[in-house]
Amino acid sequence: MYDGDIASVLISEQQIKDKVTELAKQVEEDYPNSGDLLLVGVLKGAVMFMTDFARALPQPAQLEFMAVSSYGSSTSSSGVVRILKDLDRDIAGKHVLILEDIIDSGLTLSWLLKNLQARNPASLEVCTLLRKPDAVQVDVPVRYVGFDIPNEFVVGYGLDYAERYRDLPYIGSLDPKVYTSGA
Ligand SMILES: O=P(O)(O)OC[C@H]1O[C@H](OP(=O)(O)OP(=O)(O)O)[C@H](O)[C@@H]1O
Ligand code: HPA
Ligand SMILES: [Mg+2]
């Protein structure tokens, strides 16, 4: 699949699986009495992570989705976050855990945290599968991080370049020739 476009596999399918289980276990320990946890998945990137995480989490949780976009067909953030789909319900008084695929510049999450905090949840935390420490432009408080990765453009397991590669089961570095040659 996508032969030649992936420079290297950064995180294998098995490594992802193990990490999702580990993160779900941490969350389970931190929310011991909470049968009312609300998971907010940030579409589209977090779709694989959200569905795997929800199934790895022993306690019941409700699932909500928000779709935002700031990258479009680019490898750098436009800095302008657009809501493509808002939550379907009120989160006031709920324990909300945002599930993100990646924190790169941090601009999306910083914007999202302000937006959701204004809706008065009982608590608001973030769980991200990936983070690029060398790319972060705004500091965002993140309670759960799966992997810190190098500052390379990555794809797979929900992450795209120009809407492609989301269906890869692993996370790989995209060969720069894909976005520099106009291919
Ligand atoms: O930290 P940042 O630099 O803001 O980048 C992270 C965000 O960018 C990506 O979303 P994108 O805008 O590509 O939308 P998508 O999830 O639909 O691909 C990714 O899924 C995160 O939500
Ligand atoms: O490295 C990345 N890959 C895919 N989507 C992204 N959105 C922010 N950073 C990335
Ligand atoms: Mg994207």
pLDDT (mean) for 32-54: 92
Ligand nearest to the CA of 174: 2
Residue 161, domain member (yes or no): no
Residue 168, domain member (yes or no): no
Domain count, the chain: 1
Mean pLDDT rounded to a whole number for the chain? 94
Ligand nearest to the CA of 68: 1
Q: Among candidates 38, 35, 13, which has minimal Cα distance to 127?
A: 38
Residue 99, domain member (yes or no): yes
17: which 2 tokens?
């699986």
Q: What is the pTM of this model?
A: 0.95
Q: Model confidence at 73, in pLDDT bands (50, 70, 90)?
A: confident
Q: Model confidence at 27, in pLDDT bands (50, 70, 90)?
A: very high
| Mutation to probe ligand 2, out of 104, 138, 173 (largest number of atoms < 8 A from CB) | 104
Residue 164, domain member (yes or no): no
pLDDT surpassing 90 at residue 180: no
pLDDT surpassing 70 at residue 104: yes
Strand duo 144-148 + 82-85: pairing? unpaired
Residue 172, domain member (yes or no): no
Residues marked as catalytic = 104
The pLDDT score that the predictor gives to residue 22 is 98
Residue 169, domain member (yes or no): no
Residue 179, domain member (yes or no): no
pLDDT surpassing 90 at residue 156: yes
Q: Could you tell me the CATH number of the domain that includes residue 136?
A: 3.40.50.2020
The pLDDT score that the predictor gives to residue 182 is 56
The pLDDT score that the predictor gives to residue 78 is 78
Q: Which domain holds residue 52?
A: 12-151
Which of 24-33, 59-68, 76-85, 143-152 is least confident? 76-85
pLDDT surpassing 90 at residue 127: yes
pLDDT surpassing 70 at residue 169: yes
Residue 22, domain member (yes or no): yes
Q: Model confidence at 75, in pLDDT bands (50, 70, 90)?
A: confident
Q: Is the beta carbon of 40 within 6 A of some atom in ligand 1?
A: no
pLDDT (mean) for 13-26: 98
pLDDT surpassing 70 at residue 34: no
